[in-house]
Amino acid sequence: MRRINRLIQIVWVICRYRLDEFAPLTLLPLPLRLLFLLAPWRLFPKPQIPRGERLRRALEELGPIFVKFGQILSTRKDLLPEDLADELKRLQDKVPPFASDSAVRIIEESLKSPISELFADFQTYPMASASIAQVHAATLKNGKEVVVKVIRPGIEKTIRLDIALMLLVARLVENYWEDGKRLHPVEVVRDYEHTILDELDLQREAANTSQLKRNFAGSELIYIPEVYWEMTHSRVLVMERIYGVPIADVEQLRKANVNMQLLAERGVEIFFTQVFRDSFFHADMHPGNIFVDVSNPASPRYIAIDCGIVGTLTPEDQSYLARNLLAFFRRDYRQVAVLHISSGWVPGHTRVNEFEAAIRTVCEPIFERPLKDISFGQFLVRLFQTARRFDMEVQPQLVLLQKTLLNIEGLGRQLYPDLDLWSTAQPFLENWMKQRIAPPGLLKAIKQHAPDWIEQTPELPQILYEAFDQLRHLDRYNQANQDSLASLSRAFEKDKQQRRDFWLAGLVLASAAAMAIGEQPLRLTELPWPSVVLAVTGLYLLMRPK
């Protein structure tokens, strides 16, 4: 019954604000077009307010899930008319607040002390209000300025009802639409359910904030505010107050003489650093959560808040994604096609040549062009057409990343439309791949992902470390090879009980080297010689007679 009531509420809001105006009737099948024309909202008069305001008010009334959708759209002026995009910007931090006395009550109940004992000063009127929480300015007893974030009362109930409706629609799509299985709508909604419910726990947000702060400690790229753990609860979060210019206030940034090109490039670098170096990225980077420290305009630094939603990638997804992007940057569309097939993102029976040609058709028009010259809408249409033609499956684990990339690309388009996204990202990815296949990176990967028998042989990581350490520190690879083999051989002869361990070490070395070499172009002048030496060392250990 609650779901039915919620569905009636959604239909009522659509009717009240006449959101049917935004449906592209000419693109709908005839039955759906007739349904829209005969729907009950046609009986409602159109409100005498601008369409952008109607859309914003409707999303606000519908709740957090709809507001977040509007926040994503607000960064895409290339996809929306300007009046709609400008009005949706208000959803970033100007959602109508809830009563201040309710906020005070939640704070006092959560922290088990009256406001007067917790703070030297507390501003009852919120300084910002969003879909899930609102923020109040305050001053601690020691004089430090802070912000107090408070979860909206009763918000979880609304979110769960909306998720239940989304799951119902997702199951219908999956079972009755020909592309339903390929799109994995139920998995996508389930992932989103976990994400948005996690955002309701401010202790989780505090932990995410602390982790991001550690990841970028001392960085010139971005600053993360400090969390006051002793005053943090699942419904209340107290953080250092920051001062900066909102990222969406481009006019103010220009007045401050900020280096806009560097700012845009640093945004790209921050994104790729979080995704590939840390595998821990801020996944709610709409303009309301990003500010700029303009104290040094020639070297502007980002300030990020609201870390309630973060994303992570498995090492396998990291690797496939990085290799796909690098192949794309090099215009090696055949490699992109092969990687999609080998990763299972498209069916194994797909013809590589046909898929390569389709990818080239989609990607070539946007390559090496600044953001202002790219029709993102047209690119998405062609990408979806290609995905459907080749039965490309949606990867639910990458949806959060794709949503974040959509935000980043939208911000870059506003800050510096001449940004060359490709030349900015390619050097970072190439450097990351080189570090990954260097001996320390390989050793780290082996320790983390080797089979269970490594755990049963505790001395094996030390053997591998010694071999890698010698290869890393010697100047000449041939000398490194000889010394490494000699060192391993002496250890082999010293204790015959370790022969099994050396055989395993050889297997790991050879396998790791083969994977590393396989990620590089097979040209003699560019062979990864350290990996070749590792392969020789591994093969020696495998084939050495007992």
Locate all alpha helices (DSSP H) within 417-498, ordered by sequence. 421-437, 439-449, 452-455, 460-473, 477-494
Cα distance between residue 65 and residue 8, in whole Å? 17
Q: Is 40 exposed, middle or buried (0-12, 13-18, 19+ CB in 10 A)?
A: exposed
CA 171 to chain centre: 26
Tokens of 372: 């202002």
The one-character DSSP state at 256 is: T
The 3-state secondary structure of 103-150, one letter per residue: HHHHHHHHHCCCHHHHCCEECCCCCEECCCEEEEEEECCCCCEEEEEE
**Is 10:61 a contact under the CB 8 Å cutoff?**
no
Cβ–Cβ under 8 Å, residues 281 and 271:
yes
From residue 106, give the alpha-carbon distance in Å to each of 103, 153, 232, 233.
5, 8, 12, 10
Cα–Cα distance measured from residue 169 to residue 316, given in angstroms and rounded to the nearest whole number:
31
Residues in CB range of 217: below 8 A, 6 or more apart: none
**Residue count of the chain:** 546
Q: How far apart are CA 445 and CA 447, in angstroms?
A: 5
- Catalytic site includes residue 284: yes
- Are 355 and 337 in contact by the 8 Å Cβ rule? The answer is yes
**What six digits make up the tokens of 94?**
């100007």
**β-strand partners of 238:** 148
| Residue in 93, 162, 284, 306 annotated catalytic | 284
Asked if 221 contacts 266 with a C-beta cutoff of 8 angstroms, the reply is yes
75 contacts 246 by C-beta, under 8 angstroms:
no
What are the C-alpha distances in Å from 128 to residues 120, 123, 283?
20, 12, 20
Active-site residues: which are they? 284
